[in-house]
Chain A
Amino acid sequence: MAIANASSAPILTADGTPLKVSLKRSMRRSKIQALFLVLPAFLFLLVVFILPIGNLLTRSVDDTLVNWQLPLTFQMIADWDRANIPEEELFRAVFVDFTTVNKFFIESNRGSSVNTSDAAWWVAIPPKGPYREAIIQINPAWGDVVTWQPLKEIVDRSLEDTGSEKDNKHNQRRAPFDLCSELTPLTNATCSKLFRALQNWDGNSSPDEPIFAAVYKDLASAQKILTGKSSTRMNYEQPGWKGLVRTSIRAFKKMEGPPYKEAMIKANKRWGEIPFWESLVLMKDNYTMGYYLNAVDRRFDVNKKIQLQSEERRVYVMLWWRTLLISFLVTVGCLVLAYPVSHLLATLPLRYSNLLMICVLMPFWTSLLVRIVSWMVMLQQQGVINDALVWSHLLSDENRLPMMYNFTGTVIVMIQILLPFMILPIYSVMKTIPPSYMRAAQNLGAPPSLAFLRVYMPQTLPGIGAGVILVFIVAIGYYITPDLVGGKDGRMIGNMIAYHMQKSLNWGLGAAMGSVLLGAILILYWIYDKLVGIDNLKMG
């Protein structure tokens, strides 16, 4: 009876709560604890990995800046026949887009939301004032105190005393930047005049003329920056835009009024050239696939059909293939060299294997540049190896082998640099294989080669897999080594990414190429998973 009773009633813990509940509670507690333990790692990943990659992907398609610059033009160019030089009204739109700041006052000011028949776009703010009336005419919201209050808040916040003089100074320096990023898409424009004007405003009365004057002048200087940035962007699409915009801005200031077409063509004949207008059509959406196409030597034509890039500029596809080829050769080379070395490391008696291990790791501890330079000394045409070959009469002095500053040089140096990445995982796997297996196989009658192929090698596969993946993925993004030793045909896609990130500042194209690289690695990883299985991977 008592036994039956016990089985039907819930089991209780010492303090009388049911065991189930108590267990759940303690499980939850340990789960939360576990979560807290992984939280730093998760946040770290988010900050240094996921966010930057998200940013990278956005940049590779983002085209909003130039759409801020040319809202009217892009709206009207849809109606252009794409065969003849546009009519006066499109020229006028270009003129207005470059010379007025109305876009910053109007709410729906980008892409398809622009309404060209809205009179607000065509209100001319007199350059010397009065500004208030004109700005309110553009957007009546600017007559409301509510529109100004968030701006005033930025100013007030920056003037609060934080207790540290350094912080106060910093906040006041950043406030003009914050104001401008509130009003424009730019984070590096300064609204200093507005910052000063708003300090004197009480926050309740209707803003007066000096405040409007300040906002107009600040936005005019922000527009200059926007123009600088968008002309850089436009130049990617059609070389020559940068100069055209620069000279035109100067010419625009002297133009009295319509008609603009003739005056603009006279100021710079490029306004009369169809390719420049065609390139505008390609930029008129907030998002573009143009960078990705550029990364694979393609481009849009004026009808948004994909075309091959003009012949002399086709360079990226060749570089992609070369990058894959170099990475492949480096991986194979590392594998061939690493396998016997790892085996030796794993089977030698400890005192020898330790020495050998140091030899493997020594280059690892040596500066990358030192290793590269020593290879230069070895491999160049007047270098050690060529000298030795010529001295031993294996080679005549005129036919010294070109082994440096080319494809060969890149592959050789990269193999040497990446070799430890292959040796270490293979070694750590081999170390765990008992030598008795091989002996057993041979005892059972397998010749050494068969025993190796059927018994030993399959057990090293997880290490090979790890090494191959590691080396290949590291190799595919290499750029310092190819830059130094690559010369004419040993440079890789990483060099072009670095060029666009650091020198040409074409971050869109750089980001697109980075994304393609990321995609390629993920695909290779996926193929590896399908072929070998990722759970087979063993780093140690």
Chain B
Amino acid sequence: MRKSLQFGLAAALGAAIVLPAQAEVTVASWGGAYTMSQQKAYADTWTAGTATFINYNGGLGEVRTQVESGNIQWDIVDVLPHEARVGCDEGLFEELPRDVFTPAPDGTSMDDDTMVPVPNDCVVPQIFWSYVPFYKEGTFQSKGRKAPKTIADFFDVENFPGKRGIHTWANALIEMALMADGVAAADVYDVMSSDGGIDRAFAKLDTIKNDVVFWSSGSKPLELVMSGEVSMALAYNGRIGAAILSEGAPFVVNWDGQVLEEEWLVMLKGTPNYDEALAFMIHASAPEQQAGQAKWINYGPMRRSGLDVIAANEPFFNTGVDIMPHMPNAGVAMANAVFANPDWWADNGDAIAERFTAWMGQ
């Protein structure tokens, strides 16, 4: 009863937001195939107005400048978990009413329908993406070795020779190093918070230190693996998925030990297009649109009901293949996986960043 009441209320409120004839909102996102998927799933299906996507390089530097100077150019930004929390804490984002968003078909409110706890009232769920190891088919078999399966194999250059491509910052690497060192996924953050936990992670990283090639832009690890520069690399799962699904690249993903990160939409505080931006966010966070994004990229919808839509309509991907096996937050991919803990990183990220930079340079 209560749920259906909520549903009715939400529908009424949603209808009550009256828009000018053609709303225009500007959304800052990451570019590439990812923005293309948002364009197709959110913007092209939005009849109430037009959403223009522009690219940015992440971080809140520009957002902070815009909000604090009052000269606001972006209405909505696509942010990482850490930024979603810091920005809301620091008052850079609008706090949004929660009851205007579309509930799941069974009446569950959006916040309860989201797979991780919603950290604050500023954010609207988007997708999960993950750091995940992958290699080119046949890399190891051709040398008469068996194929790597686990995260421990990624850190084992003796049995799985060749260089490793890793990113130039510490997120996910600490978690993966500990899992490779035998820590259970559920205990990773306990170990990281305990004395010596970080030392243990760095000791594990030391074991591949001499075989590492660093990358800093998302397309790089794919080139590194493709050209044979490295035998295995970590990458964003969507990048690998795009290469496999759309281009038929011979990559093999090892989901074991993946680290999942959240991706949220937020609205810049003081934007002149508040109503229009809110309407767009309501649209973009509805289960249908959440699922729709997976037609174009294999990032997992944060809302459970979004996953349900996909599972019920397979083959769902635009090329006519099943997408569920490529989703980071469903099925076998979740067997041994960690959700990154942004609160831990908020406390320790800066200190770890310095330590990691020092480690890289030694």
Contacts and interface: CB of A to CB of B under 8 A. Distances in A.
Contacts of B91: 186, 188-189, 222, 224-225, 228-229
Contacts of A174: 70, 270
A505 B361 CA distance: 23
B214 A496 contact: no
Contacts of A486: 214
A189 B354 CA distance: 32
Contacts of A502: 57-62
Given A228-B91, A504-B350, A505-B60, 19 more contacts: A169-B272, A188-B90, A225-B90, A229-B90, A235-B350, A236-B350, A240-B347, A243-B347, A246-B343, A313-B351, A382-B229, A483-B216, A484-B216, A488-B360, A488-B361, A499-B353, A501-B61, A502-B60, A504-B353
A222 to B, nearest CB: 8
Given A239-B348, A242-B346, A405 B58 contact: no
A188 B272 contact: no
Interface stretch (A40-48, A211-219, A314-322, A521-529): A314-322
Given A173-B270, A380-B227, A382-B228, A187 B60 contact: no
Nearest to A186: B91
B58 A503 contact: yes
A98 to B, nearest CB: 14
A318 B228 CA distance: 32
Contacts of B202: 312
A188 B346 contact: no
A225 B68 CA distance: 12
A487 to B, nearest CB: 5
Nearest to A294: B354
* List of 7 A-B pairs having minimum Cβ-Cβ separation, nearest first: A228-B89, A225-B91, A502-B59, A315-B358, A502-B61, A243-B347, A239-B351
Contacts of A189: 91
B86 interface: yes
B92 interface: yes
B67 interface: yes
Contacts of B353: 499, 504
Interface string A394-418: 0000000000010000000000000
A231 interface: yes
Contact of A188 (B68, B212, B349, B355): B68
B233 to A, nearest CB: 12
Interface string A302-326: 0000000000111100110010000
A312 B358 contact: yes
30 contacts: A169-B272, A186-B91, A188-B67, A189-B91, A224-B89, A225-B89, A225-B90, A229-B89, A229-B91, A232-B89, A232-B90, A240-B347, A242-B347, A243-B343, A243-B344, A246-B89, A312-B202, A314-B358, A315-B361, A318-B358, A318-B361, A380-B229, A382-B227, A382-B229, A383-B227, A488-B361, A491-B360, A501-B61, A502-B61, A506-B350
B360 A239 contact: no
B141 interface: no
Contacts of B70: 174, 177, 187
Interface residues of B, number: 47
Contacts of B214: 405, 486-488
Contacts of B61: 501-503, 505
Contacts of B159: none
Which range holds the interface residue count of chain A? 35 or more
A500 B91 CA distance: 19
Contacts of A322: 361
A430 B347 CA distance: 58
A347 interface: no
Given A232-B90, A235-B346, A319 B361 contact: yes
A170 interface: yes
Contact of A173 (B216, B227, B272, B350): B272
Interface centre among A222, A227, A382, A506 (most CB of B within 10 A): A382
Given A187-B68, A242-B347, A170 B59 contact: no
A313 B355 contact: yes
A381 interface: yes
B361 A491 contact: yes
A109 interface: no
B357 interface: yes
B109 to A, nearest CB: 22
Interface string A502-530: 11111000000000000000000000000
Contacts of B64: 505
Interface of B: 57-62, 64, 67-70, 86, 88-92, 163, 168, 202, 212-214, 216-217, 227-229, 269-270, 272, 343-344, 346-351, 353-355, 357-361
Given A382-B227, A484-B217, A240 B348 contact: yes
B349 A243 contact: no
A506 B360 CA distance: 21
Contact of B270 (A177, A405, A503): A177
B346 A243 contact: yes
Nearest to B224: A380
A489 interface: yes
Contacts of A177: 70, 270
A188 B68 CA distance: 5
Contact of A488 (B86, B212, B228): B212
B270 A312 contact: no
Interface in A76-124: none
Contacts of A489: 360-361
A190 interface: yes
Interface in A310-348: 312-315, 318-319, 322
B90 A235 contact: no
A315 B346 contact: no
B40 to A, nearest CB: 26
A484 B217 CA distance: 8
Interface string A234-252: 0110011111001000000
Contacts of B360: 488-489, 491
A315 B354 contact: yes
Interface string A452-481: 000000000000000000000000000000
A381 B165 CA distance: 13
B89 A313 contact: no
Contacts of A241: 347
A61 to B, nearest CB: 19
A225 B92 CA distance: 9
B346 A505 contact: no
Contacts of A222: 91
Interface centre among A174, A188, A501, A506 (most CB of B within 10 A): A188
A492 to B, nearest CB: 11
A508 to B, nearest CB: 12
Contact of B347 (A225, A239, A319, A484): A239
B67 to A, nearest CB: 5
Contacts of B351: 239, 313
A502 B60 CA distance: 6
A239 B345 CA distance: 10
Interface in A240-268: 240-243, 246
Nearest to A245: B89
Given A169-B272, A174-B70, A240-B348, A381 B229 contact: yes
B32 to A, nearest CB: 14
A239 B350 contact: yes
B270 A190 contact: yes
A315 B347 CA distance: 19
Contacts of B355: 312-313, 315
Contacts of A313: 351, 354-355, 358
A517 to B, nearest CB: 17
Nearest to A229: B90
A10 B178 CA distance: 95
B104 to A, nearest CB: 28
Interface in A158-197: 169-170, 173-174, 177, 186-190
